[in-house]
């Protein structure tokens, strides 16, 4: 469902279609820090601050799902210090923000295999998911140890094992069934995908789910991508015509 804001009902350009689901690749933390002669983890810290800003802005706008690429299956290749810094940052973010998020009816969820995250990070995540599980406001979906190819591989394996044990028939396999076996099973596909920092690729992010999404790329580094920048992206999205393959 698309929520519309009417500033002036007579002017078409003043009608803002708010995406139900925004997915973001939060890129450029490292370059943001480098530009300031700071260590990379300071860039992630600033990026974490911006997660709060954009979560609040999306909530205010009426977005129902905000999915953030916080740690990919490939990010383990980064220096140990950076990986542990990111894991600690996640713990800090959840511990300091949980109360306010919960009061604002935000539901915290994850996609990706969080069973492989450090014990402490997993524990804080499990608690946050549990505390907010009945909230009906914004779904803040953190993609953690997430990679689309891994997600699809696991889905294929799960379907294969159901075929093998006879609980599924070959004819049962269709797009809906595959979608039901992905981490996003009960979520709508993203309407808008934003990638910051000028990189023009998907980096193994939601390959199935982004099939018909609108893409928005900006040169702005993630820590600088504030509320105004988000509004600009939503405005551009509003003016796109989505045809889903039809004419």
Backbone φ, ψ for residue 172 (5° rounding) = -75, -15
Least distance in Å: CB of 52 to ligand FPP? 8
- Is 75 marked active-site? yes
Q: Which of 17, 27, 29, 189 is catalytic?
A: 27
Residues 122, 115: contact at Cβ < 8 Å? Answer: yes
Nearer to ligand FPP, 90 or 155 (CB): 90
Sign (positive or negative) of CA dihedral 76, 77, 80, 81:
negative
Residue 137: closest CA among 60, 231, 25: 60
Q: How far is residue 229 CA from its own chain's centroid?
A: 17
- In sequence order, the 6+-apart residues with CB closer than 8 A to the CB of 198 are 28, 217, 218, 219
Told to check if 23 binds ligand FPP by CB under 6 A, we report no
Stretch that binds ligand FPP, among 7-15, 57-65, 85-93, 212-220 (CB under 6 A): 85-93
- Is 191 marked active-site? no
Q: Which of 14, 37, 59, 75 is catalytic?
A: 75
Stretch that binds ligand FPP, among 82-90, 118-126, 158-166, 167-175 (CB under 6 A): 82-90
- In sequence order, the 6+-apart residues with CB closer than 8 A to the CB of 206 are 23, 67, 143, 148, 184, 190, 193
- In sequence order, the 6+-apart residues with CB closer than 8 A to the CB of 28 are 43, 196, 197, 198, 220, 221, 222, 223
Q: Which residue has the tokens 């490939």?
A: 74
What is the x/- site pattern for ligand FPP, positions 148-187, by CB under 6 A? ----------------------------------------
Nearer to ligand FPP, 17 or 128 (CB): 128
Least distance in Å: CB of 115 to ligand FPP? 18
Binding residues for ligand FPP restricted to 46-75, rule: CB under 6 A: 47-48, 51, 68, 70, 75
Stretch that binds ligand FPP, among 84-92, 104-112, 117-125, 127-135 (CB under 6 A): 84-92
Nearer to ligand FPP, 17 or 121 (CB): 121
Tell me the pairing of strands 107-111 and 15-18.
unpaired
Tell me the pairing of strands 21-25 and 15-18.
unpaired
List the catalytic residues: 27, 75
Positions that interact with ligand FPP (CB under 6 A): 26-31, 44, 47-48, 51, 68, 70, 75, 86, 89-90, 93, 142, 197, 222
């Amino acid at each position: 469902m698309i929520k519309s804001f009417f500033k002036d009902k007579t002017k078409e350009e003043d009608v803002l279609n708010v995406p139900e689901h925004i997915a973001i690749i939060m890129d450029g933390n490292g370059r943001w820090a480098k530009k300031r002669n700071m260590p990379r983890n300071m860039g992630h810290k600033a990026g974490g601050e911006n997660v709060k800003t954009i979560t609040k802005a999306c909530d205010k706008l009426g977005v129902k799902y905000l999915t953030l690429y916080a740690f990919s299956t490939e990010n383990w290749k980064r220096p140990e210090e950076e990986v542990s810094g990111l894991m600690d940052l996640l713990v800090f973010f959840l511990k300091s923000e949980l109360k306010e998020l919960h009061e604002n009816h935000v539901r915290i969820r994850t996609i990706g295999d969080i069973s492989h995250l450090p014990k402490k990070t997993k524990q804080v995540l499990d608690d946050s998911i549990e505390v907010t599980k009945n909230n009906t406001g914004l779904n803040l979906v953190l993609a953690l140890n997430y990679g689309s190819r891994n997600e699809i591989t696991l889905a294929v394996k799960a379907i294969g094992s159901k075929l093998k044990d006879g609980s599924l028939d070959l004819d049962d396999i269709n797009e809906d069934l595959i979608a039901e076996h992905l981490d996003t099973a009960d979520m709508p596909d993203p309407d808008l995908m934003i990638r910051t920092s000028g990189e023009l690729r998907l980096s193994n992010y939601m390959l199935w789910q982004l099939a018909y999404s609108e893409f928005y790329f900006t040169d702005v580094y993630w820590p600088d991508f504030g509320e105004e920048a988000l509004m600009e992206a939503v405005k551009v999205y509003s003016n796109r015509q989505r045809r889903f393959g039809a004419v």
